[in-house]
Amino acid sequence: MSIHVRNLVRCLAAAALIIVPNISAAGSAGLPPSLLPGAKSIEAVERMVMPEVDVASLLAEDAEREIAGRPVPARYAKSLPVVFTPTNSGTWEELGDGSRLWRLRIASPGALSLSLGLKQFDLPTGAAFWVHDPDGVWVQGPYSAQNRNALGGLWTAVVLGDELVAELHLPAGAEANLGIDLVNHGYRFFGESEATAGAKRGACNINVICPQGDPWRNQIRSVARITFTSGAGSFLCTAQLVNNTAEDNTPYLLTAQHCIDAPEVAPTIVAYWNYETSACDDFFGGSLSQNQSGAVFVASYPLAGGSDFALVELDSEPDPSYNVYYSGWDARDTIPVSTTAIHHPSGDEKSISLDYDPPTITSYLQDSSPGSGNHFRIEDWDEATTEGGSSGGCLFDDATGLCVGTLSGGYAACGNDDPDWYGRFARHWTGGGASGSRLSDWLDPGNTGTLWVDGLDSSQVFSDGFESGDTSAWSSTVRDHVFSDGFESGDTSAWSNTVP
């Protein structure tokens, strides 16, 4: 096992954040120039109005799609095709330092949220792109050349409200090529008000900040709400970072295949970290600021004949300030005594569900055991439930704290005692027998034969109680993780020069 140099550097950065003020979300490089003195008024910027969206028809389609038990991701937005570029729309201006600013206002009446899909995103060094509401309350960005996804584009995080500003800042003399191809008109799950609270998750759900979440504080940090675009819509599911036997912080994100069902969907993923309430009885209040965009498809095993998993690798490790965790997993062919689920019901703030009984092994939506053996059947949740948007979330073994399955679907809801089905990790492991359809090649990259691994804290090397300069503790505890980076056994001088 090894920790690469890049991960050591990342850990050092995480430690620095202890004493350096935390600048949240994608705004770490500063505010958009238009929100600072010197830019023209927003009223001087060209405004494009999108055609009306028939929300009633969309909701009717959703009701038909989301018949209980049918494994489909929850749609939250209609994706509207556009062709907006800095050469055919928007407003340019030159700032006092010679740099240039391009802005375009995009309004979609009635939208609860808006986000953009750019299939071309080529920026020079020093350039930055943002999306924000006209008042600068909701700001996502800056996005730079490093945020360009594997297909050459960018999918932005959401901005709440029915109008956003796309903003590009270029250094003097620089040029960029970008094109906005989709405007995602959000009509549910993001931005509901108190008056529309009925559209949010059921009242029986339990926020992870509640006491039921106390034994799961680490695993909670691994779970993300993800959005992605497929066809003419944008959707919600749950996913989680998972550790691997190399323990090298490779940002593998595990979810359901019925969520991420094709390689071209992965680059459109936006992962929202730590989207949760700050109080146990809150219904609102989750922050959208900690997010990242883009992933590469790695492997999947479909629900039809399989166990319904998808594994993607995020384009970058989550920002150290997000304080994420890589959950452990168990691919052994065992049955837990009791289980816990951590997920985003209806895409809302992170929740936790508990079942005090052992699951049974069945086929999907079937009661008899063992059936195909691909799924765990949860008879009923003793506390809370799952909903659309929970798909892909891990089922954790209470005894070990390890992920043993991912949610495919079921009939569970507030007000009933109906079952759910989770694709079994043991079946994910071997999948369809090839690297593109199983987890073993990716989560055991050294082919060690290990069938389970504990979780890993993203800043674990600074959270094990070692004092600064305590190299004796390092040499005895992490030597198995560092020798691939060129340090000799017992060579603590190398550590003392490298680790504060």
Catalytic machinery residues: 258, 308, 391
- Of 58, 43, 340, 359, whose CA–CA distance to 187 is shortest? 58
The answer for residues whose C-beta is within 8 angstroms of residue 347's C-beta and 6 or more apart is 74, 76, 189, 190, 225, 236, 388, 389
Strand-pairing partners, residue 346, are none
Can you tell me the distance from the alpha carbon of 355 to that of 353, in angstroms, rounded to the nearest whole number? 7
Can you tell me the distance from the alpha carbon of 343 to that of 321, in angstroms, rounded to the nearest whole number? 21
| Residue 310 CB coordination number (10 Å) | 27
Query: Residue 98: what are its φ and ψ, rounded to 5°?
Result: 90, -10
Strand-pairing partners, residue 128, are 169
* Residue in this structure with the two tokens 């796309």, named with its chain if needed: 166
Contact, 336 vs 285, CB < 8 A? Answer: no
